[in-house]
Structure 1
């Protein structure tokens, strides 16, 4: 993790990822935020942590994971889209609740980090900030809903096809176990699917 100086300013990052169309609000938010670089294998937050910041993806690749009843690490989702909020639902309820998931960095990744309390304080002052909060909730629900529908109703090979279209860059980097646990298929089955895909490329 690197908190050094950055060519991009926090205000530029906000305009690029979460445009607020309010220079005063953007300036205030920018003054409270920082741009942080993470390396492959870094953990942005772990299971059981209290999420004190809102993490907005600028560029890179993230994996959200949880531990199942057999104490096996399972992949919940991947994130690659600029502007995605890489926080779990606990951050949106307004309470300091331990996270049930963790977020791992899959390659060099840059994140805009905003203190959670600053977000809630600015929501009291700016209606635009409250609208952004609602938009983030909606985005998170849509994202999870898409994932759940694909995993529930598609057969294994079609799940992998959808995954490759949605996250082609992740397919090049993530491990077999990480992808298989996300898709809900056996690691051996995924290996065959990946082999078949490479043969036809």
Structure 2
């Protein structure tokens, strides 16, 4: 698949000239499981748009513990924090992105995007669309984590990301759900027993 087709599939733009321009500056990268697209403290100099695979966003708390912020499996999700546009990719990131399953990611330089936003109104509309997408994604996650009890929250997690439940570690899922690893182990064990009819 050529870059233009990937951009057309990932980015809701109507102007073929803008799609061609983005495709010209875009790069398609393949990441292996365990690699980091960027780490805490790195500069987010590119916009990272997921094409395939599984990503985990995380931050480091005051105890230097790795805490999962979210998982990404849906094609078209942007693996950047919103301030990347305000800082033009020149502020150290407070989050990192790890590859949980081999991923293909479309990458476009932040400065190119900002320049195009200054020149083309449709690009500003794209920026608003991306912010809205990110806000909806985080709202869904935060509403479930804040208002559901641990067992129900884990049920929601398994429905939303069954493929993540199969490959992520107890620590990665437990820190995302805000429950203890021991509690998650019990929930996962109960789920396996039900699946096996035991």
User: When the two structures are superposed, what TM-score results if normalisation uses the length of structure 2?
Assistant: 0.95
Residues in 1 aligned to 2:43 and 2:151: alpha-carbon distance in whole angstroms? 37
Displacement over 6 Å in runs of 4+: none
Q: Does 1:148 align with 2:123?
A: no
Asked whether the 8 Å contact 1:37–1:108 carries over to 2, the reply is yes
Give CA deviations for 1:90-134 in whole Å, capped at 9, x if unaligned. 313244211100000001100000000110111122211110111
User: When the two structures are superposed, what TM-score results if normalisation uses the length of structure 1?
Assistant: 0.94
> What are the within-5 Å matches in structure 2 for residues 45-194 of structure 1?
45-95=38-88, 96-194=90-188
Residue equivalent to 1:4: none
Residues in 1 aligned to 2:51 and 2:111: alpha-carbon distance in whole angstroms? 21
**Which 5+ residue runs of structure 2 have no aligned equivalent?**
none
| Aligned residues: CA RMSD | 1.0
Aligned residue pairs, count: 194
* SS in structure 2 at match of 1:61: strand
Asked whether the 8 Å contact 1:92–1:137 carries over to 2, the reply is no
**Which 5+ residue runs of structure 1 have no aligned equivalent?**
1-7
Residue equivalent to 2:12: 19
